[in-house]
Amino acid sequence: MVLNMGPQHPSTHGVLRVVLELDGEIVRRADPVIGYLHTGIEKSCESKTYSQAITLTDRIDYLAPLSNNLCYCLAAERLIGLDVPKRAQYIRVLLTELTRITSHLVWLGTHAIDLGAMSVFLYSFREREEIMKIYEYVSGQRMMTSYFRIGGLALEPPPDWLERVRRVMESMPGHVDEYETLLTENRIWMGRTKGIGVLKIEDAIALGASGPMLRGSGLAYDNRKAFPYSSYDEFDFNIPTQTDGDCYARYKVRVAEIRESIKIVKQAMEKIPSEGPFRAEAPGIIPPSREEMKTSIEGLIYHFKIFTEGFAPPPGEVYQVIESPRGELGVFMASDGSPKPYRVHFRAPSFVNLQTLRKLCEGRLIADVVACIGTTDIVLGEVDR
Amino acid sequence: MESQEIDKISAVRKLQEWDAKAIGEVVEAKGETTIVIPSDHLFQVARYLASEPSLLFSFLSDICSVDRFTLEPRFEVNYHLLSFQLGVRLRLKVKLPGTDPVISSVFSIWPTADWHERENFDLFGIRFEGHPNLQRILMPDEWEGYPLRKDYPTEGYR
């Protein structure tokens, strides 16, 4: 029997359709059908200036907007050849790690509710809200922050923001313990995830899986270590790995990653100097400060030029890779020397990781398909772009 | 970082020693190495890079195309490879003509190419010969035209 699961189904996390070929309750083949949320973001980028396109990157992976901002800005900065001040780099690290925590919390809550554990969802969204308040305090927005700009940050963060981060981070490890007491040793949870959706390491590599999908299968690979960006090489953290490659292993990896991210945030709080520039000095590329724009003729000219026509990086192309909460996020950017990107392509980790679904579900029960979709941690906005 | 640079140079040299005719220009720019490959050699080069024990470019990160409309050859297809063993990234670039762009599929080497190739077929109209299921993936099946081509209007045809 052929059964359509989705596109409207509560456990497909959006508009994913999975065509299941069934033999009784056994899944013989599971084919994901995607594209329901395709909005042509890559095409839209080509008709916007480099700075304007940042707002579109938020909307690709809407659970980790700052990771997308970061990857896009790093690509543009490499294209221009721009150095970002250390202070801005550390703030970027801090905020992207907070993003990793919020993204994993959403994953944990929704994955648990899919498998019948309701209370974890309520707890994890409670903590997520506290971090969202930090985003709002710093950037003015809870979700679509667009806070990272080419060359640095959008604005100077408010003076006492680190105090708020510290308060949230102090209680965070206790909350993670709380989730673990509900799940890690829970017999139902283990029954639903252990030995389910096994991805062998050679399959993971062949299918291009990255992030927790790859690390759950036993390969300790992380772009933050292998190709450090934004001063990640100055931070001390571990790469959590598990060898079983099943849903439980990926659960363990992600929970451990939350703890590692807390560690990185704490180190970043120590490193961030209270004074210093929050964006690079690059006339014609970075907008001048409000005061400069009002008082100097050059400032006024640059301000006008940047906001009317943008800036033109030299011709060339780059492929920038970062470790987003979901895996390897890549931005390919090609410039033809005009103020608009000639081509922007997003290597979306969800898109590639979703390809493993067929492998995960083969020969399993329908109920396990729900666990397998949850464990790949897809965001349909990113899959379809 | 420096050892990665050395590994990258030796990987390129190894490829040149293996078959100098199979590879075109090697471009170093912005810290990235691009190897231009004539389209009929792509499959052999890809298989060599993925299977040679001292290189093992086992991870295909991404395939993405660029439309250089009005220029000929019009299309560029970029393959972004990663070798876990060397910690090195490489870009293979293949240039294809504007009329009937066809290239051999690398699906049998890297199964992850499945959706990447479908995406490029869908949005650019590049055919990947030997792909088991070359259908549209993001756009509806009955869609006309290839949206990411430069002669396709941003607002679509009306």
pTM: 0.92
- Determine the pLDDT at residue A100: 93
Q: What is the DSSP string of A184-233?
A: TT-HHHHHHHTTSS---HHHHHHTT--THHHHTTT----HHHHS--TTGG
Say which CATH number the domain at A197 has: 1.10.645.10
CB pairs under 8 A between A and B: 85
> pLDDT 10s per residue in chain A (385 long)?
888 887 877 777 778 888 999 988 899 988 999 988 899 899 999 999 999 999 999 999 888 999 999 999 999 999 998 889 999 999 999 999 999 999 999 999 999 988 888 889 999 999 999 999 999 999 888 888 889 999 889 888 898 899 999 999 999 999 999 999 988 888 889 888 988 889 899 899 999 999 999 999 988 899 998 899 988 989 999 999 998 889 999 999 999 999 999 999 999 999 898 888 888 888 888 888 888 889 999 889 999 998 898 888 999 999 999 999 999 999 999 999 899 999 999 999 999 999 999 888 888 888 888 888 889 888 888 898 8
Instruction: State phi, psi for A16 to the nearest 5 degrees.
Output: -100, 135
Residue in A78, A219, A330 nearest the CB of B62: A330
The CA distance from A82 to A278, in Å, is 14
Residue in B31, B62, B110 nearest the CB of A332: B62
Chain B CB contacts of A40 below 8 Å:
147
Number of domains making up chain A = 1
- Determine the pLDDT at residue A5: 85
Distance from CA of B112 to the nearest CA of A (A): 4
The CA distance from B57 to A147, in Å, is 36
Question: What does the buried/exposed string (b/e) look like for A292-329 if buried means 16 or more CB atoms within 10 Å of the residue's CB?
Answer: ebeeeeebeebbeebeeebbbbeebbbbbbbbbbbbbb
Tokens of A210: 């990255």
Confirm or reject contact between B6 and chain A (CB < 8 A). no
Could you report the predicted ipTM of this complex, rounded to two decimals? 0.90
Q: Which residue range(s) make up the domain with A87?
A: 2-384
- Nearest-by-CA chain B residue for A36: B138
Complete domains list, chain B, with CATH: 2-100 (3.30.460.80)
Contact status, residue A373 vs residue A213, Cβ threshold 8 Å: no
Q: Mutating which of B27, B62, B89 best tests the A interface, going by the most A Cβ atoms within 10 A?
A: B62
Confirm or reject contact between A328 and chain B (CB < 8 A). yes
The CA distance from A39 to A57, in Å, is 12
The band of B2, judged by pLDDT with boundaries at 50, 70 and 90, is low
Q: What 8-state DSSP symbol labels residue A333?
A: E
Size of chain A in residues: 385
The CA distance from A216 to B109, in Å, is 23
Distance from CA of A90 to the nearest CA of B (A): 21
B86 pLDDT higher than 80: yes
